[in-house]
Amino acid sequence: MRLTLEMIKFEHSVFALPFALTGALLAWRDAGFDIADLRYRLIWIVVAMVSARSAAMTFNRILDAGIDSRNLRTANRHLPAGHLSEAFAWGFTTLAAVIFLWAARELGQLCLVLAPLALGTLFFYSFCKRFSTYSHLVLGFCLGIAPAAAWIAVRGTLDPRILWLTLAVTLWTAGFDVIYACQDYAFDVAEGLFSIPRRFGISRALWLARIFHISMVAALIALVISFHLGVLSFIGILAVAALLIYEHGLVKPDDLSRVNAAFFTVNGYVSVLFFIFWAADILLHRVPA
């Protein structure tokens, strides 16, 4: 169990889960705070999020095992190092996918219908770096669909306004994934893999990451306006912006030694602080729609 959780970086579920829960709370607010089985739905949303991510992450590890074995940075990952077998990984992927489909079924007909499409999108990302410079945006979209999916899970339909949060999460994820990919620039060139750092160079890639994150903040402001949210939501955006500025200050084209701090630590705080401020805004201003 420990090896499996390490393989899928289970703790990184914190990246997308707070945004999904924010989407659910916004849907609850839009319904006039009148969703009788909200707790039940929130539990299944968490199950769906964790299981979908677990299936996608394990599938990615299986598909990249050969590549990882040739990269000094990733050679010690569980599959190339032989800590877990490929057969076990396939079995775990299947189990996680089944749990995800079960959770989608519990969340309603539309969720069940869309679940295979969502899972296919997550699996598709694993192929992207073999042919697309912009795989970072595909990864971003994989996380970005979470708040829209949570909205559907609560309301049973999709409101176009929640897509501002989908856009924000997509840009946020793409930005920090570009930063993370900079450390594999030389390997990507040698292997013929595609990435923004390989296409544009590390310096320009970091500037593109900044543009993605500036655009994320703009999308969050549009979300606040579209839902007529309060001051706490704006403060949450300011907190996110401050953390992103700090994140970009940690990495420089000639010094990538603090990429892990920028990628793992700062972005964990981004998602958690965002959720705290936005949830507080929603819960402290409960008024009928």
By the 8 A CB rule, do 169 and 16 touch? yes
175 within a domain of the structure (yes/no): yes
Question: Is there a domain that residue 251 lies in?
Answer: yes
Top-confidence residue, 17 or 287: 17
The confidence band for 263, taking pLDDT boundaries of 50, 70 and 90, is confident
Give per-residue pLDDT as tens, 53-97.
999 999 999 999 999 999 999 999 999 999 999 999 999 999 999
289, part of any domain: no
Please, which pLDDT band fits residue 287 given cuts at 50, 70 and 90? low
Q: Is residue 117 part of a domain?
A: yes
Which pLDDT does position 255 carry in this prediction? 92
95 inside domain: yes
Confirm whether 266 is domain-assigned: yes
Query: Beta-carbon neighbour count of residue 220 at 10 Å?
Result: 26
Q: How confident is the model at residue 289 (pLDDT cuts 50, 70, 90)?
A: very low
Express each pLDDT in 208-217 by its tens digit.
999 999 999 9
In whole angstroms, what is the distance from residue 87 CA to residue 94 CA?
Answer: 11
pTM higher than 0.85, yes or no?
A: yes
The per-residue DSSP string of 237-266 comes to HHHHHHHHHHHHHH-BTTB-TTHHIIIIII
Q: Which among 167, 274, 154 is positioned nearest to 212, based on CA atoms?
A: 167
162 occurs within a structural domain: yes
39-46 long-range Cβ contacts below 8 angstroms, 24+ apart: 41/107, 41/153, 41/154, 44/103, 44/106, 44/107, 44/153, 45/20, 45/21, 45/103, 45/107, 45/149, 45/150, 45/153, 46/17, 46/21
The CA distances from residue 55 to 119, 126, 277, in Å, are 8, 12, 30
Alpha-carbon span 194 to 139, nearest angstrom: 14
Q: 185-190 long-range contacts, Cβ below 8 Å, gap at least 24?
A: 187/70, 187/71, 187/73, 188/129
Structure tokens at 104: 């989608």
Look at residue 100 in the predicted model and tell me its pLDDT: 98
> Any idea what the CATH number is for the domain that residue 85 is in?
1.10.357.140
Domain carrying residue 242: 2-284
Angle, helix 109-128 to helix 86-106, in steps of 10 degrees? 150
Backbone angles phi and psi of 107, in degrees to 5: -95, 0
| Assigned domain for 73 exists | yes
Q: Which residue has the tokens 């620039």?
A: 185
Rounded-to-integer distance, Cα 248 and Cα 270, Å: 13
Query: Is the CB of residue 212 less than 8 Å from the CB of residue 178?
Result: yes
Number of domains in the chain: 1
